[in-house]
């Protein structure tokens, strides 16, 4: 399968997982840290399944970062009509972009397993 097509399918599957968990992920009564942990457990795992085999290109990285920002904006309930920069959203979340670095780390860990293997 084409890596771009696989990423597109994975993003849509992760988006569906987010929508299923929307009540918990957008609940203002839950701490933002708790909601982020839910997102990492239930949404990111769907997206990252098999990411070790992807060949990351600039277009793929931008799609991954766009999905990460989509998740953050939904968690903060920021409407798409508001003109809020990504940096401001990351400031509200109290973190930086991390999804691409997680993918790169997992790729390196997989490479280490392959090198040590029989």
Domain ranges of the chain: 3-116
Q: Percent of the chain, pLDDT > 70?
A: 100
In the predicted structure, residue 117 carries a pLDDT above the cut 90: no
Give the model confidence (pLDDT) of 35-81 as tens digits: 999 999 999 999 999 998 899 999 999 999 999 999 999 999 999 89
Contact yes or no for 77/24 (Cβ under 8 A): no
In the predicted structure, residue 23 carries a pLDDT above the cut 80: yes
What pLDDT was estimated at residue 2?
83
What pLDDT was estimated at residue 3?
81
Q: How many helices (H) and strands (E) does the chain have?
A: 7, 0
């Amino acid at each position: 399968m084409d890596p771009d097509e696989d990423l597109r399918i994975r993003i849509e599957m992760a988006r569906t997982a987010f929508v299923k968990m929307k009540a918990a992920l957008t609940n203002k009564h839950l701490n933002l840290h708790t909601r982020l942990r839910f997102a990492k457990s239930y949404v990111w795992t769907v997206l990252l399944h098999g990411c070790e085999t992807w060949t990351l290109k600039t277009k793929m990285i931008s799609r991954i970062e766009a999905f990460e920002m989509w998740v953050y904006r939904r968690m903060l309930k920021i409407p798409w009509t508001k003109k809020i920069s990504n940096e401001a959203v990351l400031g509200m979340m109290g973190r930086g972009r991390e999804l691409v670095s997680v993918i790169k780390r997992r790729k390196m860990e997989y490479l280490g397993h392959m090198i040590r293997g029989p």
